[in-house]
Every structure is written in structure tokens, then in C-alpha cells.
A and B are shown apart, each in its own frame.
Chain A
Amino acid sequence: MRKAKEFIVEKLILTCGVASIFFVALIFLFLMKEGLAVFKTVSLSDFLAGHKWYPISEPPQLGILPLILGSILVTIGAAIISIPIGVGSAIYIAEIAPAWAKEVLKAGVELLAAIPSVVLGFVGMVTLVPLVKNVFNLPTGLTALSGSIMLAFMAMPTIVSVAEDALYSVPKNYKEGAFALGATQWQTIWRVMLPASSSGILAAVMLGIGRVIGETMAVMMITGNAAVIPKTILVPVRTLTATVAAEMGEAVVGGEHYFALFAIGIVLFMISFMINVTADLFLHKRQR
């Protein structure tokens, strides 16, 4: 009787464990099945490098280059803003802040992570968008820059908490060794703590970027959604994610447009997958 119970529990847990892999595989297969169908009508190079995204014209033009560039532009902008602030704040929390400030800041960062992206989106829409419009004297404030700034807020909690963790895990004697040689606090941080935790900090950055590139709601609300190749960061852009979210509802099931959106899904999947693998490599390097 006890044996049978053991057996059942064991198999049940095994099923739970395998389930997540199974679902990923299913999603991936489904994505492939629906997405790859688009290549019956458009070649891979035309799809990835085509300049025009007019999915409902006749014949449809399915070039996603503007969307890829839109995503990359917004992501790079967000990275430029969030990496220095995020890493800086992690250094402050881990190394410099007095105990009470540490608690306040960590709570603040967690709270930032808890804000739903749609809320960030509409706050950005009513505050940031008009600001960008006025500061740069633009016809519209719905630009890649606005999206970058808003997404930087979303990447920051991830970057701060993972980077802070990396700094904490640097052996204490490294720090003491540096101080004992007469290093100042900044020299210790810059020449000992950061190099020693570099792989963890890189992983933090990659995870933050992964979050940005997959984000949909906020970018859809404040980047303007114009599927044109952006020449500066001060023009409206449309990202891969926003395209899928905005157009999936109106695409005819089984049509070319529908398949193309799934193919965009594959591209996104590949990008996040690569980012996650890179982050993972850095994290494992750190553990070794």
C-alpha cells in the first residue's frame, strides 16, 4: 500500500515536471506550423529584409524590417537609459547605502516591478509623450524615444535586483583585500567588485533587455505604431510585439496576414531565446 502511494506520488510529480517542457514544445510546434506557412507566398529574405509592411493591400506586402528596426531601436534606447541607472543603483544598494536606505530602495525597486505595463503605458501617454513633444518640438510625442524611456522603467527592476545579487555574491575577502591595500571605496568598487561580478551583471543586463524586447502593452500605447523604417529616435515606430497584438484581432484566420503574424512570433521567440541563452551562459560562468 505504501509502495503504491510512493509510486503514484512519484509519477504525479514527474508529470508536473515534464508538463512545462511539453507545453513549450507544443507552443513552439504550433508557432512553427502556423508561421512557416507564410513562406509559401513570400521568401525568407523578402520577409526579413522587406521595407514595406502593408499586410492588407493587394497583393499584401509582408516585409518586417521596419518592425525589427523599431524593436531594436526602442530596445537599444531603453538599454542605454536603464543599464547605467540600473547598475549604478545596484552598486549603491549593495555597497554604499546605509541599512535604512537599502530597505527603502529595495522596496521601491520591487514596487516598480509590480506596476502593470498598461499603467506605465497610460502614465507615459499623458505625461511623457507631451513632454517629449514639447522638448524636441516635434509634431507628435509618440516616438521611439518615449517608448525607450518607459521601457527603461520596466527593465530597471530586473537589472537592479540581479546585479545587486551578483555584487553580494562576490567573496567578502576580495573587498577586504582591496581595502587592506589602501584602496578607496570607489577604487574597490571599480577595480575589484565590478570585475569580480561582471558576468552576473552582464546576465542582469541581458535579462533586462529580454524583458524590454518582449514588452507589448506600453510600447503599443506610446511609440506611435508607424511601420516605417526609423531614421532617428524621434519618430514614431512600430515594434514586432505591438504589430502582433494590434493586428491579430483583425487578421483572417488562415490568411497570409495571419501566417505572417505567426512568423513574427517565431522571430520574437528566436530573439528572446538567444537573449536568455546568453544571460544563462553568463550566469553559469559566474557559478564556476
Chain B
Amino acid sequence: MVDPKFDIKDLSVWFGHLQALKKVTLAIAPNEILSIIGPSNSGKTTFLRMLNRLNALNLSFRVEGEIRIDGVDLLRLDVEALRKRVGMVFALPLSLPLSIYDNVAYGVRMHGEKNKKKLEGRVQAALEEAYLWEEVKDRLQESAFKLSGGQQQRLCIARTLAVEPEVILFDEPCSGLDPISTAKVEDAMLKLKSRYTIVLVTNNVKQAARVGDRTAFFLNGELIELDQTEKIFTAPHDKRTEDYILGKFG
């Protein structure tokens, strides 16, 4: 593998007495889509939220082990700077009660960009990358709530892209979307791969098969198996992976 984007060694996480991650070791390559699958409470979202340190919002949170981003200790980085580099898209589209334009410009403005021309450029570029520009370019000043669920989710992707991150974390981005909207979001993901590193947590096994370069299977806080997506779905090593993919539990 080329120099990994993320290098994670023996990562363990506790919330109070509950251990959510158990000695997870894995590396994520730049410009790959890593899908993470597993039943609920398997630690996959906890893992994702370690990469932008959102877990630290929980007061009883404790961590052991090492995460490096581009070779630098992630846990020692300035947290705001880290989150600018590592963007996140949540399960529910989180549109703010603002216009479409202001939703996308929100993060950029927060990071201090005041130049109107630059702001407009960033908003348009982000909307184009999220494959939403054509649908909204004539009504940027309308409320974001007028968009459909799928459009709102792509709006959130655009908002994340507008602050120019290097990595995008997707936390079950399509759990509330219909199949057509899901397909559009997946399209956007595949095209974003050329410029960003993508980590996708999903409950939808087929989605992992469709978009992931590699797929990781988590169970009870442990990384059970990590391999090329094709291999995971055709010839998994571990019985538990096979059972989960075939829908025998989960």
C-alpha cells in the first residue's frame, strides 16, 4: 500500500464501563472508499467518529491506542483543524433553516471566508461535486427545506465539501432515502473518490458491495475481517462475516 491516509493501531474505546472498540488495527489508503459493515452496536460508528474525534463530546469517553493521519498523531492535532480536514455526513440530512446557498456557505463562512466572489465559487464548486448544482442553480435563495430528502443529503455533502476537506466520513448516509435518491448519493460518492478519501459506515450490505473498494466487517467492537470488497462478498475468510452478509444475523 502507498502511504496510508489513516494508520490505526490497537485502537480501544470505552464509554463508561462499556468497551465499544477492542484493539482495532487497520490502515486506510488515500483515495479509496472503505466501507464498514456490521450489526448495530458493533462499534462501526464509534470507529468512524474517532477519525474526526466527535466521540470526545461524550463525557465518559476514553481512548487507548494510536491513530495517525498522514503520519501525524491524530489525537494530538488541533481538533478544529482536524475536522476541517476530515468532513462528515450524517445519517439524517441536517439542513439548517437557511437558504440553499447559505447552507453550503455555512462552514466556509465559519472558517472566516468573507470574500463574496470566492464564497460563490466555493459554493458552486461544492454543489457541482455533490451533483446537485443542476437541480438547484436557479433557486439558490430558496429554503433548503423545500428540497427532497435525497437532495438535502446531497446538500449536506456539498456543505462538507465546501470547506475543502481531504477525507469524508459517511455515517449511514442513505438510511432515510428511497432507492433512487440512494443511487444518486452513491454516484456522487464514486465520483468523489478521485479527490477524497472516503470512509462509509452502512447498514446496507449491498451498498457496501456497490461502492466500497475494500470492506471491513465489525462485530462487538472487533474488526473481524478486512479485504477487497469482491473478496469479502464472494469468499469471506470468517464464518461470521459470511453469516452476516447472507443475512443470517444482524
- Which B residues from 78 to 125 make CB contacts under 8 A with A? 80-84, 87-88, 90, 92, 94, 96, 106-107, 110-111
Q: Does B163 contact A (CB under 8 A)?
A: yes
Q: How far is the CA of A123 from the CA of B129 in the complex (A)?
A: 65
Known contacts A99-B59, A176-B54, A176-B57, A181 near B83 by CB under 8 Å: yes
Known contacts A179-B83, A180-B52, A174 near B94 by CB under 8 Å: yes
Chain B proximity of A102: nearest CB distance (Å): 10
Encode contact with B along A159-183: 1 for CB under 8 Å, 0 otherwise.
0000000000000011111111111
Q: How far is the CA of A174 from the CA of B159 in the complex (A)?
A: 14
Known contacts A99-B59, A176-B54, A181 near B106 by CB under 8 Å: yes
Size bracket, chain B contacts: 20 to 34
Encode contact with A along B25-59: 1 for CB under 8 Å, 0 otherwise.
00000000000000000000000000010100101
Q: Judge whether B111 and A182 touch: CB under 8 Å.
A: yes
Chain A proximity of B49: nearest CB distance (Å): 9
Q: Which of A175, A176, A178, A180 has the most B CB atoms < 10 Å from its CB?
A: A180
Q: Judge whether A182 and B110 touch: CB under 8 Å.
A: yes
Q: Which residues of B contact A11 (CB under 8 A)?
A: none
Q: How far is the CA of A174 from the CA of B54 in the complex (A)?
A: 13
Known contacts A179-B83, A182-B83, A173 near B90 by CB under 8 Å: yes
Chain A proximity of B199: nearest CB distance (Å): 13
Q: Which residues of A contact B81 (CB under 8 A)?
A: 182
Q: Which residues of B contact A98 (CB under 8 A)?
A: 59
Q: How far is the CA of A99 from the CA of B90 in the complex (A)?
A: 27
Q: Which residues of A contact B80 (CB under 8 A)?
A: 182-184
Q: Contact partner of B87 among A174, A181, A184, CB < 8 A?
A: A181
Encode contact with A along B48-76: 1 for CB under 8 Å, 0 otherwise.
00001010010100000000000000000
Q: Contact partner of B94 among A173, A182, A183, CB < 8 A?
A: A173
Chain B proximity of A265: nearest CB distance (Å): 42
Size bracket, chain A contacts: 10 to 19
Q: Does A187 contact B (CB under 8 A)?
A: yes
Q: Judge whether A181 and B92 touch: CB under 8 Å.
A: no
Q: How far is the CA of A179 from the CA of B163 in the complex (A)?
A: 13
Q: Does A191 contact B (CB under 8 A)?
A: yes
Q: Judge whether A181 and B94 touch: CB under 8 Å.
A: no
Q: Which residues of B contact A192 (CB under 8 A)?
A: 96
The chain B residue with its CB closest to the CB of A184 is: B80
Known contacts A99-B59, A176-B54, A187-B110, A181 near B90 by CB under 8 Å: no
Q: Judge whether B57 and A179 touch: CB under 8 Å.
A: yes
- Which A residues from 174 to 220 make CB contacts under 8 A with B? 174-184, 187, 191-192
Chain B proximity of A285: nearest CB distance (Å): 12
Q: Which residues of A contact B82 (CB under 8 A)?
A: 182
- Which A residues from 24 to 53 make CB contacts under 8 A with B? none
Chain A proximity of B73: nearest CB distance (Å): 19
Q: Does B160 contact A (CB under 8 A)?
A: yes
Q: Judge whether B90 and A176 touch: CB under 8 Å.
A: yes
The chain B residue with its CB closest to the CB of A175 is: B57
Q: Which residues of B contact A173 (CB under 8 A)?
A: 90, 92, 94
Chain A proximity of B90: nearest CB distance (Å): 6
Chain B proximity of A172: nearest CB distance (Å): 9
Known contacts A173-B92, A191-B110, A181 near B54 by CB under 8 Å: no
The chain B residue with its CB closest to the CB of A183 is: B110
Selected A-B contacts with CB under 8 Å, 6 pairs: A174-B94, A175-B57, A179-B54, A179-B83, A180-B52, A180-B160
Q: Using a CB–CB distance below 8 Å, which chain A residues touch chain B?
A: 98-99, 173-184, 187, 191-192
Given contacts A182-B163, A183-B83, 19 further A-B contacts (CB under 8 A): A173-B90, A173-B92, A176-B90, A178-B110, A179-B57, A179-B83, A180-B87, A181-B84, A181-B87, A181-B110, A181-B160, A182-B81, A182-B84, A182-B107, A182-B110, A183-B80, A187-B110, A191-B110, A192-B96
* Nearest 8 pairs of A and B residues by beta carbon: A182-B84, A181-B107, A180-B88, A182-B83, A177-B94, A182-B80, A184-B80, A183-B110
